[in-house]
């Protein structure tokens, strides 16, 4: 388990108020709630894009909250994927690998392993701006995983896809998480995401955690 303590943030008209939360260090943990419940705020606070001054996040004996975002070794897939539009899919992935400080041999091995697994060769050299939703998702997923993160965070990763593609993508993500043996935190409003991927889940409403499901 990783232990989140004192996750508080006052936005004026809304507050995140989570005194204590245990996140499993294996499998997929889902944080589920309706729009406006605070899910994305929690996501941003954990990865360090927003500040929670009193936060402690103990993971494998280390307080991640004391580290700058670049040193937390978190793999992140944002809701809108946040790819560099002028870069190709391959360039987006390689940029992240180099930022993690991986050596050339390891980058080549991981790049080939992951892109082959997700059948990405037809679009690796296309700019991200022209990729389909499914292609962007796979690019963002490989970008998040190539540096061997200690935890993968997924913010509504299927919401930009049509329903037919969502089912296929859920299976792909679940299989890849299992193969990579990386724990994941899935932020979603969709109970079908929870049913397809989650090993455990937690409800959030008005910035507070409710009873576990």
65 within domain boundaries: no
Q: Report the alpha-carbon distance of residue 204 to residue 202 in Å, rounded.
A: 7
129 lies in the same domain as 155: no
Cβ(125)–Cβ(91) below 8 Å: no
36 lies in the same domain as 139: no
CATH number at residue 12: 3.40.50.300
* pLDDT tens digits, one per residue of 77-94: 999 999 999 999 999 999
80 lies in the same domain as 143: yes
69 within domain boundaries: no
51 lies in the same domain as 84: no
209 within domain boundaries: yes
80 lies in the same domain as 145: yes
* pLDDT tens digits, one per residue of 180-193: 999 999 999 999 99
202 within domain boundaries: yes
125 lies in the same domain as 155: no
136 within domain boundaries: yes
DSSP secondary structure code for residue 210 in this structure: E
168: which 2 tokens? 């296929």
Low-confidence spans in the chain with pLDDT less than 50: 213
When divided into structural domains, the chain yields a total of 2
53 lies in the same domain as 11: yes
- Torsion angle of the four alpha carbons 22, 62, 47, 14, in this order, in degrees rounded to the nearest 10: 50
How confident is the model at residue 29, as a pLDDT? 97
How confident is the model at residue 212, as a pLDDT? 57
53 lies in the same domain as 157: yes
66 within domain boundaries: no
Phi, psi for residue 53 in degrees, rounded to 5: -60, -35
Q: Report the alpha-carbon distance of residue 43 to residue 189 in Å, rounded.
A: 13
Residue ending a domain, choose from 114, 129, 149: 149
53 lies in the same domain as 86: no
Cβ(2)–Cβ(59) below 8 Å: yes
136 lies in the same domain as 78: yes
Domain of residue 78, residue span: 74-149
84 lies in the same domain as 143: yes
How confident is the model at residue 160, as a pLDDT? 83
Residue ending a domain, choose from 98, 114, 149: 149
In the block, residue with structure tokens 């936005």: 11
In the block, residue with structure tokens 């700019």: 127
């Amino acid at each position: 388990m990783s232990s989140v303590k004192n996750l508080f943030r006052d936005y004026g008209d809304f507050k995140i108020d989570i005194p204590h939360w245990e996140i499993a260090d294996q499998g997929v943990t889902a944080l589920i709630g309706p729009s406006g419940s605070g899910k994305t705020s929690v996501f941003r606070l954990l990865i360090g894009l927003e500040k929670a001054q009193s936060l402690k996040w103990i993971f494998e004996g280390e307080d991640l909250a004391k580290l700058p975002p670049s040193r937390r070794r978190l793999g992140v897939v944002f809701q809108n994927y946040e790819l560099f539009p002028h870069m190709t899919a391959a360039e987006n992935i390689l940029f992240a690998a180099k930022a993690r400080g991986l050596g050339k041999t390891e980058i080549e091995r991981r790049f080939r392993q992951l892109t082959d697994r997700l059948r990405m060769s037809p679009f690796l050299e296309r700019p991200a701006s022209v990729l389909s939703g499914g292609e962007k998702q796979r690019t963002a997923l490989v970008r998040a995983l190539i540096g061997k993160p200690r935890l993968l965070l997924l913010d509504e990763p299927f919401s930009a896809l049509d329903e037919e593609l969502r089912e296929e993508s859920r299976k792909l993500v679940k299989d890849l998480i299992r193969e990579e043996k990386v724990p994941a935190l899935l932020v979603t409003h969709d109970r079908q995401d929870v049913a397809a991927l989650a090993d455990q889940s937690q409800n959030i409403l008005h910035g507070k955690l409710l009873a576990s499901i």
